[in-house]
Amino acid sequence: MDVKSLIESGLLEAYALGECTPEERALLERMLREHPELRAELEAVERVLEQVAQAYAVSPPPELKARILEQARAEALPSRPPKPSETGRLWRPLLGWAAALALGAVLAWQLREKTQLAERVQALEQQAANCETRLQQQGRLQAIVDLLRDRNTRAIVLSDVSGGSAAKITATVWHNPVRAETVLDINTLPAPPPGRYFQCWAIVAGQPVSMGMVNFRGSDAFQTLPFRPDAQAFAISAEDNPNGNPTPTQVVLVGKI
């Protein structure tokens, strides 16, 4: 193997990094003794590798520096600066590493942009959901206004039937047989005592029919109740079961249609 082929083979870099086989090491050391220009090339390779290691804060193998110093003392051969063509060959590995770093930077930037875009899309989706909720609330409010303005809507006032000396309570049910709609005005009804739950009833043929529980946790001031065209009256009872009971436990409010 001649000097040019040996330089282009990458054997000098492997030798400087301590990665040669025993046969390659013996061949290279013989060539180094016979060719001073090869020794200069090796020293240039070692300088470049050391600069790269310092730039990336990666310490070289501890034995590398000792081996270089030992070889320098054992073979004090004259050195010369590398030729321009040789310098170009030395920079080729660095250009590859620089390209890899640049690619990594581009990928990191793309990832950051993708994350920011995803966050922006999520924010827009939330804004759209909020807008849809407001539109639904506006539509619900308009429906209630239309119901209350309808001349066929009747206000059924449910009066307290407890008979006690405490302050009387009332509630209002808006009932429209033409529109087939019944709603409870929750704002007119106080919250039940702790451990008790209000249940709505329609009185049909003298018998109570459940219309569901009063929901105080909703944001709507009006709660839609099932429409019963044959209802004769409405009532509210106080129950100990949050899901209601088949029959009223304690009727607190009653109002006839």
Model pLDDT, residue 130: 67
**Mean local confidence (pLDDT), 146-161:** 88
Residue with the bigger pLDDT between 100 and 147: it is 147
Cα separation of 138 and 183, whole Å? 17
pLDDT of residue 103 exceeding 70, the answer is: no
Q: What is the pLDDT of residues 162-213, one digit of tens each?
A: 765 455 788 899 999 999 999 998 877 888 888 999 999 999 999 999 999 9
Distances (CA, A) of 49 to 16, 21, 53, 62, 205: 8, 20, 6, 14, 99
Q: Report residue 84: phi and psi, to 5°.
A: -55, -40
Model pLDDT, residue 165: 46
Model pLDDT, residue 254: 93
Q: Which of 27-31, 116-120, 192-196 has the lowest mean pLDDT?
A: 116-120
